[in-house]
Homo-oligomer: A and B are copies of this chain.
Amino acid sequence: MSVTFPRGFRAAGVAAGMKPSGRRDLGLLVADRPCAAAGLFTTNRVQAAPVRLSRARLAATGGRAVGVLVNSGQANAATGPRGERDARTATARAAELLGADPDQLLACSTGVIGEPLHLDLLLAALPDLVASLSEGGGSAFARAIMTTDTLSKEARAEAGRIRVGGCAKGVGMISPDLATMLAFLTTDAPVAPEHLRALARATLEPRFEALTVDGCRSTNDTVLVFASGAAGGEPVEPGTPAWSALEGAFVRVGSSLVAQLAADAEGATRVLLIDVEGARSAEDARRAAKAVADSPLVKTAAFGGDPNPGRIVQAVGASGAEVDPERIDVWIGPVQVVAGGVIPPTYFETKGEAAREAMAGPEVRIRVSLGDGPGRSRALGCDLSYGYVRINGEYTT
């Protein structure tokens, strides 16, 4: 159900023939009428045409949109003026078929960077796509946005009468060169555009920002949020119990999607949860957590099931965070492997047996305490396996 779990939305996904595999590659999510919308976009200096278009449209409308058209197979990034034209042409034609204002239809693309959209195929598939929109189309939409994902990622939550749904794709912050993490969340809560932006920033940004598969920010990363208001009732406003409930539902859906993304990351055999506490600031904690999650040495050690605490200390020390080396404590699961900056001699005497056991499962929890302040942060990553090298090394454009 995903994005069509909340009332007031229809979705569809079809195969337009743009993906070499012949699988579904074109998705459409629309609200019954223009509604509040908000976006979080990649901070890469190189941004795909649909990213620039969606951002500009949300700015121009003050956060109102009728939906989003998504294609998978071509990222429409590094495609120059032609890419801009293609994105405008595709959304204009879809809006025409929907009887909607083209300035209120957003766009996302994911796939090979640089390859132009197969615009002819896309335009030819639009009538079928629009005709197949339905209130049960969320899963078809979720499948249509996949590239090398092995599973579709869908989540839902309820907060009283209010529903929140979502789906996402992406197997790296950038995948093979099928660029992109994309996520779409919907709610039927009545929420004003400015509050929806605040909600997305507060509940989604930290969760999606905490995810790192290979440290590569894509040219296309986008999170879009729509609020149809179809649940009825009073507008949900910050500071009210209904707002807190809505926040909770967004956190649950966002967290679930992020966890599903990490678990399906390219070649991943283990998810890494890195919690840093006791940093001088939240930003220092974020840096240290990301540095551990992105370290190829920590990631390969996780793949091998090897605790290797020296690599964790190395990554923290090189992260750029303010660190007093003599106060660093590290735990792998429940096992302390660094105390006051020193790896206990017992670790080597036992060949790290206890920590090794704590790494045996599909989820590895690493906790780093810097003993130096209130800053804390979590990063979510995965191991670095032969599979990652195979997927990214043997894939050819």
Binding site for B on A (CB under 8 A): 43-47, 75, 77-80, 112-116, 172, 174, 176-177, 179, 214-219, 295-297, 300-301, 303-304, 306-311, 313-318, 321-323, 325-326, 328, 338, 340-343, 345, 347-348, 351-352, 384-386, 388-390, 392-397
Contact = CB atoms under 8 A, between A and B. Distances in A.
A46 B317 contact: yes
B384 A315 contact: no
A318 B44 contact: yes
A297 B342 contact: no
Contacts of A179: 310, 314
A115 B345 CA distance: 7
A215 B298 CA distance: 12
Q: Is the interface of A mostly helix, strand, loop or mixed?
A: loop
Given A114-B342, A341-B78, A389-B386, A177 B297 contact: yes
A46 to B, nearest CB: 3
Taken together, the copies of this chain in the complex come to: 2
B113 A397 contact: no
Q: Which of A44, A45, A80, A326 has the most C-beta atoms of chain B within 10 angstroms of its own C-beta? A: A45
Contact of A325 (B47, B295, B340, B347): B47
A307 B176 CA distance: 12
Given A313-B219, A343-B78, A386-B389, A396 B306 contact: yes
